[in-house]
Structure 1
Amino acid sequence: MYVISEEAVISGAIASIWQAATDVAHWADWDPHEEKARIDGPFAPGTKGWVKPKGAPAGPFTITAVDEGGSWTSEAGIPFGKIRGHYTYTPVGEGAVRVVKRMEIHGPFRPIFRLIWEKGIRSDMHLSFAALEQEAQRRRAADAAHA
């Protein structure tokens, strides 16, 4: 197994961050890493989806675990292996949330993944964290305007 993990502390309400992070149908609207995405049911274990990351092939994924408001895990197949993504959201103070994205690469594709995509994935993670922060703030402002 090969692991790529990054984290950041972003500002925003945990509820707004969770809402944006788990709204698969709208990932491509705000996340610079995603071109297209969909989910074929509720955001719950066993639900399947499909994603097309920028610079990588499209493919299906399955949500394997959800701790509502705190974390979720998904798995996607790659040739002779799989990628497991684990995403954690932890409040660390008033209006601040630690976001952790951990990608585990299983199978013989590990060395290729490390050589070709690691640097880009790490920088994309931080771009996605910043975009998540902005999207969560946009959603919170929109909710306040409609209240």
Structure 2
Amino acid sequence: MMTLGSATTVSSAAPAAFFARWADMATWPEWNADTEWVRLDGPFAVGGTGVLKPKGGPKTKFVISALSDRVFTDVSLLMGARLTFHHEVEARTDGGSEVAVTVTLGGPLARLWNVILGKCIAQSLQRDLDALARAAEQATAAAR
């Protein structure tokens, strides 16, 4: 398995605000600039499945492989490879959060997919995580 990239950010939003954004997959394009649309076919729970459409790419099936009060992991099922986005959220004593995401790629065609996707994912990861933090903060402010 190869790591394509990782990013971290600190936010004033509580961990629950991040999970609310992840669970509302239809809004992912608001903070993920490379995503055209996302559809979750069932509940936001381990084993949940859906389809996403990257901008300029084919529709891709995904599965939620881990979900807890600190972790959200989704795996995109590429032909011959699995693209994994592992998110961890740590509550801070000031009421905010520290969020980290790591993207890995595994499977027999991982090297080919790395050539196709790797550089783009690595370049956009911090940007998208920062945009997610802003979205979580805005949703928190609007709820007050």
Shorter-chain TM-score tier: 0.7 to 0.9
Q: Displacement, 1:30? A: 2.9
CA contact (8 A) 2:72 2:87 kept: yes
Q: Deviations over 1:115-139 (max 9, x none)?
A: 3322211121111111111101110
Matches within 5 A, 1:17-56: 17-56=18-57
CA pair 113-95 structure 1, distance change in 2 beyond 3 A: farther
One-letter code aligned to 1:45? V
CA contact (8 A) 2:37 2:53 kept: yes
Q: Which residue of 2 aligns with 1:58?
A: 59
1:77 maps to 2:77? yes
Distance 2:8 2:103 in 1: 15
CA pair 93-116 structure 1, distance change in 2 beyond 3 A: farther
CA contact (8 A) 1:13 1:95 kept: yes
Distance 1:50 1:83 in 2: 13
Distance 2:99 2:83 in 1: 19
Number of residue pairs aligned between Structure 1 and Structure 2: 143
Distance 1:52 1:103 in 2: 18
CA contact (8 A) 1:5 1:100 kept: no
CA contact (8 A) 2:6 2:103 kept: no
Q: Displacement, 1:95? A: 4.5
Matches within 5 A, 1:1-147: 1-11=1-11, 12-68=13-69, 70-144=70-144
Distance 2:115 2:80 in 1: 18
Distance 1:91 1:7 in 2: 17
The TM-score with structure 2 as length reference comes to 0.86
CA pair 63-57 structure 1, distance change in 2 beyond 3 A: same
Unaligned runs of 5+ in 1: none
Question: Helix, strand or coil: the match of 2:86?
Answer: strand
After TM superposition, the structure 1 stretch with the greater mean CA deviation from structure 2, 113-122 or 35-44, is 113-122
Q: Deviations over 1:45-65 (max 9, x none)?
A: 111111112243221111122
The TM-score with structure 1 as length reference comes to 0.85
CA contact (8 A) 2:5 2:121 kept: no
